[in-house]
Homo-oligomer: A and B are copies of this chain.
Amino acid sequence: MLMNPKHPKDSFVVMSELVLPNDTNTLGNLMGGRLMHLMDIAAAIASQKHCNCPVVTASVDNLSFTNPIKLGNLLTIEAKLTRSFKTSMEVYLKVSGEDLYTQYKYMSNEAYMTFVALDPHERPRKVPELIPETDSEKAMYEGALRRRQVRLILSGKMKPEEAGELRALFVKD
């Protein structure tokens, strides 16, 4: 099967939600886990737009929550592919909040999630190539290899000394 390459914009998706009472903790902040739930759905949409088949979440990179999103605020999640590997895809997510009354917008967090494409027997299958277009897309595409090494090391599937890309960060030869 021959698959045409695709561009990051082909998988771009925007999700907008109002933060409702049951999404918040007793301080009126969107719970981190509820946010991760929505981010996972947004990223699953983006990766399905790229591979046109069922997907399963393979990994979520280190997430750092900067500003909690408040009850009644607008939550916006943007997701698009950064790079496709043989059977997996890395998705970049940008999450922001907005108080619609004061028009105050704030960044909440950024994230990278990885999804695996599945065939009807739930086995990994090939995905189309991704060709970045803009400068920022190209930078994310390049960074994907390094993030992949971090992922493999952190999940114990690669030894640090094999991670050439990453080693350079620690060792200025």
Residues on A lying within 8 angstroms of B by beta carbon are 13-18, 20-22, 24-27, 29, 31-34, 36-42, 44-45, 48-49, 52-54, 56-65, 68, 71-72, 74, 100-103, 118, 122, 150-151, 153-155, 160-161, 163, 166-167, 169-172
Contact at A33–B27, with CB atoms within 8 Å?
Answer: no
Contact at A16–B18, with CB atoms within 8 Å?
Answer: no
Contact at B61–A154, with CB atoms within 8 Å?
Answer: yes
Most buried by B among A31, A48, A62: A62
* Shortest distance between the CB of A150 and any CB in chain B (Å): 7
Q: A62-B155, A100-B49, A154-B62 are in contact. Are A32 and B22 (CB under 8 A)?
A: no
Contact at B25–A54, with CB atoms within 8 Å?
Answer: yes
Contact at B60–A45, with CB atoms within 8 Å?
Answer: no
- How many angstroms between the C-alpha atoms of A58 and B68 in the bound complex? 9
B residues less than 8 Å from A42 (CB atoms): 16
Contact at A71–B27, with CB atoms within 8 Å?
Answer: no
Contact at B59–A64, with CB atoms within 8 Å?
Answer: yes
Contact at A16–B45, with CB atoms within 8 Å?
Answer: yes
* Cβ-defined partner of A52 (8 Å) among B16, B20, B31, B101: B101
* Shortest distance between the CB of A120 and any CB in chain B (Å): 10
Contact at B15–A13, with CB atoms within 8 Å?
Answer: no
Contact at A161–B170, with CB atoms within 8 Å?
Answer: yes
B residues less than 8 Å from A72 (CB atoms): 25-26
7 tightest A-B contacts by CB?
Answer: A33-B40, A32-B57, A33-B37, A36-B36, A64-B155, A22-B22, A48-B100
A-B contact pairs, 26 of them (CB 8 A): A14-B16, A15-B17, A16-B45, A18-B41, A21-B22, A22-B22, A26-B54, A27-B118, A31-B40, A32-B56, A33-B39, A36-B37, A45-B74, A45-B100, A52-B100, A52-B101, A59-B63, A60-B60, A61-B62, A61-B154, A62-B62, A62-B151, A150-B154, A160-B169, A166-B170, A170-B170
